[in-house]
């Protein structure tokens, strides 16, 4: 994919294709107008002490996560909401759906980096849906761990939709892992494309109503060392029109 330096090109690609893959350099260009980059080292370090996801219906102990909810308004403001459970219909998540899942909250100290990414997504998705006055935004910190005897599953529910309007997946770090390839599909399962988030800052944006996505399992490169994949996932769901 060629570089996408201008927001208009990014918007046009999302409208045309239903998804966009941004390399780190392009993503940094997109983020720059939306605030200071913040302390990426501290931001990435906030993934290091997350608790295990205790809701995995497959019994897996390979996923750690935190969660937060925000409201984003037409005037550009973004407000953090009271902590609440994450809920998905079983129609969208056949593994863990129809369960109110209480995850540890994302700490406020995560700070400027998260706010900049939120503002970028708000501006991007609002340009595609200018009638939306209020977005319900969910933020997920994920760490997927891999072991020699157990691959990590970034999408244990398989190829899926999230049941929202738009999704951002931003790579924070990958250490000592192989694979983790993202695949994009039509609703009937046909493959539209595939790519691998490899550098911190690589990202993909998805029109969740139009495309399905999945990520292949991750495995250690060196069985003697820790192996993991850290991502930030933001989902935007419209709540009411102007």
**Among 85, 82, 53, 86, CA closest to 70:** 82
Q: Give the end-to-end CA distance of the chain in Å, rounded to a whole number.
A: 35
> Is 47:143 a contact under the CB 8 Å cutoff?
yes
User: What is residue 22's predicted lDDT score, i.e. its pLDDT?
Assistant: 97
- Please report, for residues 8, 31, 60, 117, 192, the alpha-carbon distance to residue 5 in angstroms, rounded to integers and kept in the order given: 9, 11, 40, 16, 23
Which domains, from first to last, does the chain contain? 7-241 (2.60.120.620)
At 178, list the tokens. 């192989």
User: What is residue 97's predicted lDDT score, i.e. its pLDDT?
Assistant: 66
> Is 237:134 a contact under the CB 8 Å cutoff?
no
User: What is residue 242's predicted lDDT score, i.e. its pLDDT?
Assistant: 44
- Please report, for residues 11, 50, 210, the alpha-carbon distance to residue 192 in angstroms, rounded to integers and kept in the order given: 18, 33, 11
User: What is residue 92's predicted lDDT score, i.e. its pLDDT?
Assistant: 78
User: What is residue 1's predicted lDDT score, i.e. its pLDDT?
Assistant: 46
User: What is residue 5's predicted lDDT score, i.e. its pLDDT?
Assistant: 52
Greatest C-alpha distance within the chain: 55
Burial letters 54-64, b for 16+ CB under 10 A, else e: eeeeeebebbb
User: Which of the residues in the chain have pLDDT under 70?
Assistant: 1-5, 97, 240-242
């Amino acid at each position: 994919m060629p570089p996408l330096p201008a927001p208009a090109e990014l918007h046009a690609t999302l409208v045309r294709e239903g998804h966009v893959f941004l390399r780190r350099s392009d993503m940094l260009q997109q983020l720059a107008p939306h605030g200071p980059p913040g302390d990426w080292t501290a931001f990435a370090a906030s993934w290091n002490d997350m608790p295990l996801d205790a809701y995995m219906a497959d019994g897996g102990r390979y996923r750690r996560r935190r969660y937060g909810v925000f409201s984003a308004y037409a005037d550009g403001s973004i407000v953090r909401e009271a902590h609440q459970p994450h809920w998905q219909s079983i129609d969208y998540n056949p593994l863990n759906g129809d369960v109110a899942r209480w995850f540890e909250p994302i700490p406020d100290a995560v700070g400027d980096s998260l706010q900049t990414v939120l503002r970028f997504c708000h501006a991007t998705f609002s340009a595609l849906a200018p009638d939306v006055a209020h977005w319900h935004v969910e933020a997920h910190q994920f760490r997927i761990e891999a072991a020699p005897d157990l691959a990590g599953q970034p999408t244990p529910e398989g190829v899926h939709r999230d049941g929202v309007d738009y999704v951002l997946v931003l790579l924070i770090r990958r250490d000592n892992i192989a694979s983790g390839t993202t695949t994009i599909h039509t609703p009937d399962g046909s493959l539209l494309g595939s790519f691998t988030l490899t550098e911190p800052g690589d990202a993909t944006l998805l029109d969740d109503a139009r495309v399905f996505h999945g990520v292949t399992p991750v495995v250690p490169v060196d069985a003697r060392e820790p192996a993991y994949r850290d991502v930030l996932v933001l989902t935007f769901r419209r709540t009411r029109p102007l």
